Structure 1
Amino acid sequence: MRTTSVPRLPLLLLLALIWPGGAGGVRITELDVPAVALEGDDVHLRCDYEDEGGSSLYTLKWYKDDQEFFRHQPGRAPREGDDHCRDHHLYHVDGVTVDCWVSTERDVVLQSVTKATSGDYQCEVIGEHPKFRKETRRARLTIFSEDLRAPLLLGAEESYSLMDYVTLNCSSLNTEYMPELTWLINNRPANQSMVREVDSRTAGLVFQVRPEHFQRGEINVACVTSLGPRHKMSTPVQLPNRDGPSVKGYFFNTGHRMEASGALFILATLSQLRTLASPAL
C-alpha cells in the first residue's frame, strides 16, 4: 500500500499550531527613539511591551544597523566572555555606549552620543515557550555636532498703536540642520493663523494689534528655535504701545498705572521733606 509522506514541520511551529490559547505572545506597545540629538547628549530609548495570552518575555534585544548591542533575558546566567551588568548583556557596536546601571529591560540609555551613534535602531521582543512569537519595531536616530543657535528676529518697529499690523520674521542661523521655529505672544503660543512660512529657514508672524495684546504697556513676542525636547533657544522682542503708558509708567511689581497727579504729589512731598531736613544757613 502506497503512503504519502507528510513534510515535517519545525518543532516550534508544530507546537504553536496545536497549543491552545490563540496567538498569545509578547507585543510591543511603544517604541520611543528620538529623531535627533546633539553630540554629548545622553539619549533615552524606550521599548515598552505587554504580555498576551498568558505568555511572558523570553528576551528583549536592541540593534543598531542590525547589530545587537543590548539584550535582556530574564533568568539567563552570564556566559564566559559576556559583557554584562545587572540583568543585561552588552555587545560592542561602534558609536554605542550603554549606561547599563540606569537602563532597564524597557529603557536603555546611550551615554555621550557622537555622530557615529546615528543609525537605525530596532527593538525586538520574543515571548516565552511554547510559541516564541517575535515582534520588532525600528526608528532612525540622527546625531548633529553643531550647537543650537538663537534665531534672528527682524521687522520690529519702535512702537505700535491699536489696529496696527505687526509683521516679523524669524530665521534659523544653524547650517547643519533645520530646527523647529515657533512663536510666542506674551508667553503663549501664537495662533497658527498668524504664522507664515517665508522660506525653508524663516517663519513669519503677522497679526493686528488688539487691546488685549498690550500688557503693562507693551507686547512681548519671542521666536523659539528647538531641536528635540531637550534643546531650545529664544530671541525676545518688546513692542511698546505708541499711544499709552510705557512699562515705566506702571509700578514695578503691581502692574497698576501710576497716575501723573499721584506722581507729582509724591515728588512734591519728597521735596518738602528734603527742605525740612536741610540745616538752616
Structure 2
Amino acid sequence: MESSGSKVTHYCADGDDVVNLKHRDCCDIYCSVFNNKNNNNSYINNRLLMSGRISRTFKIACIILLLSIGFSSVFSSKDIKVEARVPKEAELGGMIDMKCDWEIYGGKSLYSVKWYKDGHEFFRYVPDNHPRIQTFPQPGIKLEKISSRENSIRLMDLSFTSTGQYKCEVSTEGPAFATSFKTGNFTVISLPERGPEIKGLSSHYAVGENVTANCTAWPSIPKANLHWSINGKPVPPEFTVVYPTVSPVQGMGIPSTLGLRLEAEARHFVGAGTVKFRCQADVGSRRFDTEKLVQMAHVNNQRLSASDLRGSVKANACFLTNNNFNLIIITTIIIIINLT
C-alpha cells in the first residue's frame, strides 16, 4: 500500500506478480506497503495468514456471493407489500387517523415502521427496541401517543402547517434490510360559514333581456371554486366574469366572487316558463350551493320586458281607480232621483 499525503494505493500479489488495485480485494494473498512521503522511500512487506494460490473455484464462489448480495438489495422491495391510507383532507382543528398495512414475504421479520412528513421523520416503531415507539418533533405534527402504534397514527389539533406529503416506510431485518413505502398527500381546509349568495337577479326576465348577477362565496381555505349553472347545465366560461382575488379575511380565509353576464333566451325558460340559476362553491371535496328561480315576463301570452310589465300593472291600477270613481257618481245620481 502506497501512501503519499492522503492518497493510498494498494499493491497485492498473487504468487510472484504484484498488481496495482484501486480497492482492497477480498482474495488478497500477499500485500506490500510502499511509503513515499518526504521522498523517503520504504518498502514494507506483510505476508498474510493465508499463503499460496487461492483456487479458481473459491474465487468464483466469492464473486457469486457478492452478486447475490447485490441482487438481494435491488429486489428487496418485492419482499414487502405496503398500503398507506392517508386522508385527502380534514378540517382545521380536527383530528385524523393515518393507517399503514403491510405484508412481508420470504419468512423475513419486521425491523421498523417509520412515518415521514415532507421527507422528515416524526414517528418510528422498532419492535426490538425499548421503548418500541419513538417520536420526533416536526412543524404541524401533534401525535396522540396513546392512539399511535405500529400500523396506525393519530394527529390532533390540525393546523395549516399539517398540510403536506406523508410517507409510511416499512423495513425487514438484515442482512438485506428490504424496504418499501407508500405516500399520500393531505390538506387541512377551513370551510365557509355558510353557502354562497346570489345577488343581482330579477324575479322576471323577458327573452332578449340581459341577465346580470354575482355569486359570492364566504371566506375559506383554500379559496372556493365557483361555478354557475342554468337548469342543471354548466354555464360556459365566456358568459362568466372572474374578479381579481381579494385580500384574506383574518382567521377566516379568502372570499371569492364569480359574475354572470348573458342574454335570456327562449330555451332557458322551461316547463311553466321558469329558469333555475344555481351557484356552486367547492372547497376541497366539500360542496356548497344555492339556487334561485326566475319567471318569464309575459301578459296575455305576449312577452314583455320587466319594465313594460311594471308599467302595465300601473296603468291597470289607474284604470280600475277611475272606473270605481265613475260608478260612485252614477249610483249617487240614481239615489237622488228616487228620493224626489
State the number of aligned residues.
226
1:214 aligns to 2:270 (yes or no) = yes
Tell me the alpha carbon deviations over residues 73-121 of structure 1, each in whole angstroms, 9 at most, x when there is no partner: 7xx46x5444xxxxxx57364643459869994x765445245x52433
Q: Between Structure 1 and Structure 2, whose CA radius of gyration is higher? A: 2
- Percent of paired sites with the same residue: 19
1:91 aligns to 2:135 (yes or no) = yes
| Contact 1:122–1:137, Cα closer than 8 Å, also in 2 | yes
CA distance in 2, matches of 1:42, 1:160: 49
| Contact 1:60–1:125, Cα closer than 8 Å, also in 2 | yes
1:41 aligns to 2:94 (yes or no) = yes
Mapping of residues 95-244 of structure 1, within 5 Å:
95-97=141-143, 105=151, 110-111=155-156, 113-115=158-160, 118-126=162-170, 128=172, 130=176, 132-135=178-181, 137=183, 139=185, 141-144=187-190, 147-174=192-219, 177-186=222-231, 188=232, 190-193=234-237, 194-200=239-245, 201-207=256-262, 208-211=264-267, 213-229=269-285, 231-243=286-298
Shift of 1:159: 0.8
State the SS of the aligned residue for 1:168. strand
The two structures have a TM-score, normalised by structure 2, of 0.48
| Contact 2:86–2:166, Cα closer than 8 Å, also in 1 | no
State the SS of the aligned residue for 2:70. helix
State the SS of the aligned residue for 2:201. coil
Greater mean deviation of Cα atoms: 132-141 or 173-182: 132-141
Structure 1 residues 238 and 125, CA gap change in structure 2 (3 angstroms):
same
Structure 1 residues 51 and 6, CA gap change in structure 2 (3 angstroms):
same
The two structures have a TM-score, normalised by structure 1, of 0.56
Letter of the structure 2 residue corresponding to residue 205 of structure 1: L
CA distance in 2, matches of 1:80, 1:98: 19
State the SS of the aligned residue for 1:178. coil
Structure 1 residues 219 and 136, CA gap change in structure 2 (3 angstroms):
same
State the SS of the aligned residue for 1:174. strand
Shift of 1:123: 0.3
Contiguous gaps of at least 5 residues in structure 2: 1-12, 27-65, 246-255, 301-340
Tell me which of 40, 62, 76 is aligned to 2:115: 62
State the SS of the aligned residue for 2:291. strand
Structure 1 residues 213 and 92, CA gap change in structure 2 (3 angstroms):
farther
Contiguous gaps of at least 5 residues in structure 1: 83-88, 246-281
